[in-house]
Structures are given as C-alpha cells and as structure tokens.
Amino acid sequence: MHKQNKNSNMPAILIAMPAYNEVRYIDDILTAVLKFSENILVIDDGSDDGTSDNLKKYPNIITLSHKTNEGYGQCLIDAFGYACKNKYEWLITLDCDHQHEPSYIPHFYSEIKKNNVDIISGSRYLKKLDLKSKTPPPERIFINKKITNILNQNLKLSLTDAFCGFKAYRTTTVNQLKLTEKGYGLPLQLWILASKAGLRVSEMSVPLIYHDPKRNFCGSLENPHIRLRYYIDIIEKELGCSIDKDIEKYQSSSGERFYICQS
C-alpha cells in the first residue's frame, strides 16, 4: 500500500522509472526523485551492470525485477499494473538516464491537481527550456517529428512530442487500454488506444536534455531506417490501415509532407 502524500490535498501518486543498465546514473536520479516523493517504483529490466545491486541500497523503494531484458514497453505495462493494483490514482513516469529533470515533478503535481485530463505528456519541443544540453542526433529529431505528425493527422491530436517518457497518467483510465507492445514503440500504441478511448490529453513543457551521444538503441533499432519502419508498423497495426500505400500526401504550411490513413 502506498505511503500517505505529505500534501493531503494531492491524490495518491506513484513515480515509476524503467531501468536497464543504469548503474552510472541510478544513485543520482533516485536521490533527486526522493526529494519529491516517497512512493517510487523502479522496474529493473534484466540489468547486468550492477544496477540491481545498487537498488538494494534503497529498501524504501519498490523494485520489480525482470530476469531478462523484456523491453521498455513491458516496463511501463508493469508499472501501470502495479499502480492500479495498489490503488494509486496517478502514475508519473521518467527515465533513469538523466534525460528527464526530476525537479519538474512538482510541475506535474500542479497539473494533476487541476483534475481535467487523463494523460499529461511532457514535451521537449512545446517550449524551449534551455539546460545547455547537447543537441540530439538529427535522425532522432526527424523521426520524432515525422511520427508525431502522422499521429496528429490520423488521430486529430495536437502533440509536439510523441516519444517523451516524462508523463503522468490517470491509472483508472490508462489501465482500460489493452497495451501489448513490449518495445520502444509502446508510446505509439498508447497514443492510438488512448485516442480511440476518448482519453483527455494535455502537454506540458519539459527540458530537452541530451548528454550522451554514444547512448543508443538496442540491436537493429540503432539503424534509423529500421527504427522508423518499426514505428510505422505499429501505427499501421493499431490503425488498421496503411500509411505507406493507401495514403494521401498532406502538404503542411511549412512544406513538410507526411501521411494520413485512408480508411
């Protein structure tokens, strides 16, 4: 059962962090997050670099451990399930690699208190918040923008950042979604299912932080062409139509071309 929030006016909120081989960052990130919450869940996704041993130093932090690496999406699915089972009303997710700034957790608290949406999604592109970060590789910016545009046009959303993992979810509504994608494409499945379910969405500005140009995706997804194809495959599967063959090219005011499914 969750600990009582220090602010009695707040609902029960769980902070959840997927972790795979984050021994370099885990102590710093947990120290920072503990300033804002005593209800913390770490999903250790089969780490073999010492992350698991480091987590043992934090007996008050809940840890779910995968014996093998099951994927980012499975970590989030497990977090949603844990939050719902233990009667948390909201779940805030952030990564363990210092690409999300824990000091922004209270900003999510402020938005949660408004009680008018089901998903509060951090956006690194809604408004520039300069923390003197390195610039992400161009293909990451391109893929994010392209996929975000495809989702917006097909779902009638107004997202600026489809992939940011710094989010807050109302657990009762998100747990109604049948999430199955175990990999990095889970956010795309979630956006489509959330839109079909009529969930209310807002975005909130968070800093764009990118500090490790050598940090990469696992295996074949390191190839940006394969990664983009993987994302499009998920979108096509969930929408039930093609965005490659049966498409209408949409000319935006900026001159960029992207695609709308023809159902």
Domain ranges of the chain: 13-216
Query: How many Å apart are CA 216 and CA 129, to the nearest integer?
Result: 24
Residue 245 pLDDT > 80:
no
167 SS3 class: strand
Mean of all residue pLDDT scores within the chain: 87
CATH number of this structure's domain 13-216, picked from the four choices 3.40.225.10, 3.90.550.10, 1.10.10.10, 3.40.980.10 = 3.90.550.10
Residue with token string 């006016």: 9
Query: How many Å apart are CA 121 and CA 135, to the nearest integer?
Result: 21
Dump strand ranges (E) for the chain: 13-19, 40-45, 62-66, 90-93, 119-123, 167-170, 201-205, 247-251, 257-261
Q: What is the pLDDT of residue 5?
A: 55
For the chain, state the CA radius of gyration. Answer: 18
Residue with token string 């909201």: 90
Label residue 244 by pLDDT band (50, 70, 90): low
| % of the chain exceeding 70 in pLDDT | 84
Strand partners, 152: none
Query: How many Å apart are CA 133 and CA 99, to the nearest integer?
Result: 10
**DSSP letter (8 states) at residue 246:** S
Q: What is the pLDDT of residue 139?
A: 86
CB 134 within 8 A of CB 213: yes
Count how many Cα atoms sit within 13 Å of the Cα of residue 259 in the half-sphere of its side chain.
16
3-state SS, 28-65, equals HHHHHHCCCCCCEEEEEECCCCCHHHHHCCCCCCEEEE
Query: How many Å apart are CA 127 and CA 131, to the nearest integer?
Result: 12
**Per-residue pLDDT reduced to its tens digit, 155-201:** 999 999 999 999 999 999 999 999 999 999 999 999 999 999 999 99
Give the C-alpha distances (Å, rounded to integers) separating 181 from 47, 65, 87, 135, 177: 20, 19, 24, 29, 12
Q: What is the pLDDT of residue 69?
A: 95
Give the C-alpha distances (Å, rounded to integers) separating 239 from 44, 76, 105, 179, 195: 31, 21, 33, 14, 11
Strand partners, 19: 44
